[in-house]
Amino acid sequence: INLCITNETYMIKILHIAPINAANLPYIYMETERQLGFDSRLVTQIPSSFSYPEDITLNLPFIKDSVSNLYRSYAGKKITNVRNKTGDIPPVWKPANWFQKMIVDLRDLVWRKIVRKKSVLDLLDKADIVVLDGGAGFLRSGKYVLEWADRNKKLVSFYYGSDLRTRGVIKEIDDLSQLVFVSEFDHIYLHPRAIHVPFPFQSGKFSNYIGNNAKYNKIRIGHSPTSRGAKGSDIILDILRKIEKEHGTETILIENLPLNKAIELKSTCHLFVDQLGELGYGISGLEALAMGIPTLVTLKPDYEKFLGDHPFINIDENNMEQKIVELLNNKKRMEEIASFGLEWVRTQHAPERSLAIVHGEYRKKGWL
């Protein structure tokens, strides 16, 4: 990646706007861009509950409280572990009913005052490129971001998680987005302009955890659901407890813990089950690989073909028990998988590699 200083006095300004610093991904992009010579900033609506670092956070109300819960109860869609196979491509967000529309409009009125007071509109006005995590700006209406995009054109939408499946695009923003990036494989089927980019992941930060499982005699098998319905957790836990009874393993459930405690506990595992279903691996699986822990996850045939050679043990609910037992009886195979996983996550998910894809598209458009 070439440094993007266009002359001696001006650095290209990139503004990332995100609801939250989810899994630290927006911050990693900002941090990597800064290392490469960009003036990159990140504005989030609320701080991360996992204590990830922040640049600027607006601390907007009505996102994680009783009002937001009431709003979601009228939203309709829930996070699951299956692909979205029906409806418009891309799916388009519309208020589910008059009540949801009223809540969104009232919330935007409150948020608008806060956004103006926080001086982030000055950052927006001076930005050369604006990147919207989840395809949303400061407000659900898109005000400010749409006005900027109408003048400057260099608007990007980036989908890391479930927003595209469960909410869909905000049509006015999607219409003005010149590029659409996705990091979830199934998203390539949900947006006709989607460009896939691997999750940026700083695997080196987990190197100190490698070998933490050596002091345990029992084989510890971990699972870490953020949403049980999105991970197939009930089935996973039933199978792990069966294996525990029959083979003397120990099931390690990592749930509702601060990030540092969750990582510490995960590092004591010898095997890790990421998720069942149709969506493939996530950041939690990458963390396990980066700590030298063989990781099991469901990979649909199209996703496995897309990945090529990879270190994951591909499972479903019918063969998960068998594949775990095979590994329990083959410690050398576990060591080989662990070694391959360490190298694979280091190279395939390096932030520089992900950013090279994104900035390559910027260059094609003459933005850099």
- The Cα–Cα gap between 295 and 98 comes to 45
pLDDT score for 304: 97
What's the confidence (pLDDT) of residue 68?
Answer: 53
Q: Do the strands 313-314 and 295-297 form a parallel or antiparallel pair, or are they unpaired?
A: parallel
- Spell out a b/e string for 105-132, using b for 16 or more CB atoms within 10 Å of the CB, else e: eebbeebeeebeebebeebbeebbbbbb
Instruction: Report CA Rg, the chain.
Output: 21
pLDDT at site 3:
44
Share in percent of the chain as helix, strand, coil (round to 5): 45, 15, 40
Asked if 279 and 84 count as a contact pair (C-beta separation under 8 A), the reply is: no
5 falls in which pLDDT band (50, 70, 90)? very low
Q: Is 196 helix (H, G, I), strand (E, B) or coil?
A: strand
pLDDT of residue 2: 44
57, 30 Cβ separation under 8 angstroms = no
Give residue 59's region: left, alpha or beta (phi > 0; psi -120 to 50).
left
Comparing 5-19, 203-217, 248-262, which segment has the lowest mean pLDDT? 5-19
Render pLDDT for 162-182 as a digit per residue (tens, 0 to 9): 899 889 999 999 999 999 999
| AA letter at 119 | S
Residue 4 and residue 11: Cα distance in Å, rounded?
Answer: 7
Give me the mean pLDDT over the 51-79 stretch. 72
- Residue 77 pLDDT grade (very low, low, confident, very high; cuts 50, 70, 90): low
CA–CA separation, 95 and 157 (whole Å): 20
Mean pLDDT for 19-32 is 95
Q: What is the pLDDT of residues 103-124, one digit of tens each?
A: 899 999 999 999 999 889 999 9
Mean pLDDT, the chain, whole residue set: 92
- Give the Cα separation of 35 and 173 in Å (integer): 29
Poorest-pLDDT segment among 28-42, 58-72, 101-115, 328-342:
58-72
